[in-house]
Amino acid sequence: MIAVVNIFAISAAVFYYMGKISPLAFLLSSTLWFALMIAFWWLLPFLIYRKAATFKDHFKVSFEEQHLFLENERGSRSWPWKDFHRVVESANFFHLYFNSQSFFLIPKDAFGKEKVNDARHFLKEKIINRK
């Protein structure tokens, strides 16, 4: 959806530059783009995270030799490493994929700056990327 909105905004700018659309149409399309970007990047995440109890919990994640262990005040859960099919690293998270549509996020902040590299190597060793 975001890609379509950005293509629309770029197209509107190009058509305005070429003189194919009026300044009012360009202003309206730019306002629409700006409103949608605010909704996607700030408004929707704020509303979702504010309502979901999961995002308010404090979790403790442990990497053990045979499994990943997760616990909070209400209980605990573990997964064997073989349940994960892929690990992807983004700027702030490790994404541990169960399948192509389901994944588990681990924030890098949980490790501290000095231990992120150790966690990266451990995850890549335990999770063999397969499709």
Query: pTM here?
Result: 0.58
Cβ atoms < 10 Å from Cβ of 43: 13
Q: Are 97 and 113 in contact (CB under 8 A)?
A: no
**What DSSP letter does each residue of 55-121 carry, written as one string?**
GGS--EEEE-SSEEEEEETTEEEEEEGGG--EEEE-SSEEEEESSSS-EEEEEGGGT-TTTHHHHHH
User: In this predicted model, which residue has the larger pLDDT, 56 or 97?
Assistant: 97
Predicted local confidence at residue 20, as pLDDT = 92
Which tens digit of pLDDT belongs to each residue from 7-32?
A: 888 898 999 999 999 999 888 888 98
**Integer-rounded Cα radius of gyration of the chain:** 21
pLDDT digits (tens, 9 = 90+) for 110-120: 777 788 888 88
Question: Which of the four pLDDT bands, split at 50, 70 and 90, describes residue 131?
Answer: low
Task: For 30-71, write each residue's pLDDT tens digit.
Answer: 898 889 888 888 888 788 777 766 566 677 788 888 988 888
pLDDT score recorded for residue 58: 74
